[in-house]
Amino acid sequence: MRQILCLFVVCVLNVSPALAQSEADVCRWLFRASSDFTSTAGDAIDLAAEAVFAASGATGTMPTLTGSLIQSSSGGWSYGSSPGTKLVISFYGGVTVEYVFTHWEGFTDRSWENFVDSHHMTFSSKVGTSANLTIDSYAVPVVGGGKTTLTRDISGSLVYDGAATTLSLHHTGTKEWEVDVSFASYYYQEQCTGTASSAVYQATINDQYFKRLMHDANASQHASNTGLLSNSSMVVGGNTYAYNDGRVVWAAWTPSLDSANLGVYNQATDPSYWTASGTLSKNGTQYGTLQFSGPVVQNSSGPVLLLAVSGGSYLIHPLLQWWLTGVGDPAEGIPAAASLMQNYPNPFNPTTDIDFQVAASGEVRLSVCDLAGREVAILVDERKGPGSYHVTFDASGLASGVYLYRLQVRPLDSAVGRDSRSGAGDFVQTRKMLLMK
First to last CA, the chain: 17
> Would you say residue 3 lies in a domain?
no
Residue of 178, 174, 189 whose CA lies nearest to 216: 178
For residues 292 and 356, membership in a common domain is answered with no
For residues 358 and 293, membership in a common domain is answered with no
Domain end position, chosen among 324, 356, 372: 324
For residues 422 and 293, membership in a common domain is answered with no
> Would you say residue 433 lies in a domain?
yes
> Would you say residue 11 lies in a domain?
no
- Number of Cβ atoms within 10 Å of the Cβ of 80: 12
For residues 227 and 356, membership in a common domain is answered with no
Q: In angstroms, what CA-CA distances link 49 with 44, 99, 111, 289, 389?
A: 9, 11, 9, 41, 37
Task: Provide the pLDDT for residue 431.
Answer: 83
- List the beta bridge partners of residue 106: 119
Could you tell me the residue range of the domain that residue 287 belongs to? 19-324
By DSSP bridging, strand 239-254 and strand 221-230 are antiparallel
For residues 306 and 357, membership in a common domain is answered with no
Task: Provide the pLDDT for residue 412.
Answer: 66
For residues 304 and 351, membership in a common domain is answered with no
Q: What is the pTM of this model?
A: 0.69
Task: Provide the pLDDT for residue 7.
Answer: 40
pLDDT tens digits, residue range 1-18? 333 433 444 433 333 333
Task: Provide the pLDDT for residue 260.
Answer: 52
Task: Provide the pLDDT for residue 2.
Answer: 36
Domain end position, chosen among 296, 324, 352: 324
- Low-confidence stretches of the chain (pLDDT < 70) are 1-21, 108-109, 159-163, 253-271, 294-303, 317-337, 372, 412-425, 437
> Would you say residue 40 lies in a domain?
yes
Task: Provide the pLDDT for residue 414.
Answer: 37
Task: Provide the pLDDT for residue 258.
Answer: 56
By DSSP bridging, strand 285-293 and strand 267-268 are unpaired
For residues 185 and 237, membership in a common domain is answered with yes
Domain end position, chosen among 279, 294, 324: 324
For residues 224 and 90, membership in a common domain is answered with yes
> Would you say residue 13 lies in a domain?
no
pLDDT tens digits, residue range 321-359? 433 322 333 334 455 567 888 787 777 788 888 888 887
Domain count across the chain: 2
> Would you say residue 412 lies in a domain?
yes
For residues 107 and 249, membership in a common domain is answered with yes
> Would you say residue 171 lies in a domain?
yes
For residues 310 and 385, membership in a common domain is answered with no
Which CATH number do you get for residue 334?
2.60.40.2550
For residues 388 and 314, membership in a common domain is answered with no
> Would you say residue 209 lies in a domain?
yes
For residues 161 and 131, membership in a common domain is answered with yes
Task: Provide the pLDDT for residue 433.
Answer: 84
Alpha-carbon distance of 58 to 69, in angstroms, equals: 10
